[in-house]
Structure 1
Amino acid sequence: MAKYLIVGPSWVGDMVMAQSLFKTIAKQDKSAIIDVIGPAWSSPILARMPEVRNALTLKTGHGEWGIATRRELGQSLRNEQYDQAITLPRSWKSALVPFFAKIPKRIGFHGEQRYILLNERRKLDKNILNQTVKRFVSLGVSVQDAYPPTDLPQPELRVDAQNQATLYQKHKLHPERPAVAMMAGAEYGPAKQWPLEHFRSLAQQLIERGYQVWVLGGPKDIEDGNSILDGLGEHAFNLCGATKLVDAIDLLAAAEFAVSNDSGLMHVAAAVGTTVHGIYGSTSELFTPPLTDNKVIHNLHLDCSPCFKRTCPLGHTNCLRDITPELIIKSL
């Protein structure tokens, strides 16, 4: 029985994709114990992954060094006697906890001069490891099998049916109408956001066709949710800021399909088996696809995309604007 400590990523979608690594480890060693370090928000997601024993919270802000906090956490974990650590982020600070925990085998990619912190540093060949999930899984297999890994298990988050029923009652959702989930947020930047007027037009057409529409997101997305659904009637629900991340897992599992920007919640929808319509403009489904066979990708593949910029360098965002609501309707 081997004990693993994984230093997880800082984004929702990446943490979902990291389950492919956890599943790979569990498949190789059915008695493996896997603990994962992540931000506080990640604990509910990790709790829905059967491969993970404990979610450990690193009490530092995003981008914060927090060396003393990392040292304290690492020292507190020494009694766990982990056999191996895998550090998914490439930053120097992310490798500190396994080092302070004195874990004998510490694996990660080359980056930020981590020569002492990691004792097995692997090359990140971006041509071979051309997807985030491939990079994560490659660190859980031998070097001989890592470039690229051939088996990429898809994430599968557990669904809580009781919480799902509670959410229907709490938000007065309609159990008799099929639901469409929309995720209009784009925390990375506006170059990843399908126009709100397109979301609104799509929502209106879907409601007319017998669906209820749920817009999901965080408190920052409330205003966008209102713009999409204002005046669309009793079958339109702006749930942004009204639900926790763990609730989004259960609601997305209840939806017939989800229409989403390239976002963390898109990957959550994929991991609960919902049909995902992923909208890509400045980013590419070749790098961060929803890890499911049950998906439809919408990407115009313009000459100027993917640019991977936060805002459109040309000022028009045609890569998203020209994906019309009618194109989405036709694909349904």
Structure 2
Amino acid sequence: MDMLKTGWNFFQNEVLGMAWLNRLIGNLINACGLDATSKIGGSIQFFVYDTIKIMVLLGVLILIISYIQSYFPPERTKKILGRFHGIGANIISALLGTVTPFCSCSSIPLFIGFTSAGLPLGVTFSFLISSPMVDLGSLVLLMSIFGWKIAVAYVVLGLVIAVAGGTLIEKLHLESYVEDFIRGGNSLDVPQEELHFKDRIKYAWEQVLATAKKVAPYVLIGVGIGAFIHDWIPEDFIVKVLGTGNPFGVILATIAGVPMYADIFGTIPIAEALLAKGAQLGVVLSFMMGVTTLSLPSVIMLRKAVKPKLLGIFIAICTIGIILIGYFFNAISYLLI
């Protein structure tokens, strides 16, 4: 048992967490005449280490996930979802969302396509919530920084929000609040060409390049903010605003995350730095969920597809769910950290 635990800790710290890379960068900074424990040296170390680690993991994860995704083009996904009914359909939809686009704006065109194809509204909303919030990449990246307990809990509770939110929207019968051009749209049942192994690898590699190019600016911005928080913002300030002394920290973090636009890869470095400075676990994860699920650009895009009442209900469901999960994480954080 001890050997298994030791092996897992090595995998989590040295393989996923790339602790060896952090030590190497620290030694290089010291060799260049800077002190890696100073504010400037620490900021450089944090920025270089987190940027390389996230981009390397991102590339590997996108390659694997995109290969899996090649088996689930929109038409096949629609057929799979069409076989299920009730809450089972919401669960399958949320799970399929974990192997699809990495940000909320990328998920909306698929949401529109599924809705136009006649899939139940609750099912499509379960997909829309799940897709940016809890993809497979987030599970591995969260494991590399926060450990497997937090990563698994984050993904499971994110799926709970997706299923519960979609089910509630289904029960409210809000189909009339979808824009007419979508409800009246036609979906062509185009036969899907069977891809060979080389085709799938080519597709996956193209997705790696395209996604890396798209998310790189947000990763750099996120790591830059994380480096600033990590070495320049006083710890007592973070604890005062986002620590146990502020019962409204979860609400503040959720609201603060909404106007931002980034995927989970850009928010993880910020969350890492906030947690290291003393922010509560639930506060940090609520911020991540708010950014990835309710970013302002995605809300604007979604407004083109649904009417204000449905948009408001969607935002309210996600916001309340994220806040409740944030407080839940705060309550059980002693079990996870």
Same fold by TM-score, threshold 0.5 exceeded? no
- Short-chain TM bin: under 0.3
TM-score by length of 2: 0.27
Where relative contact order (Cα < 8 A, 6+ residues apart) is larger, the structure is 2
More strand by share: 1
TM-score by length of 1: 0.27
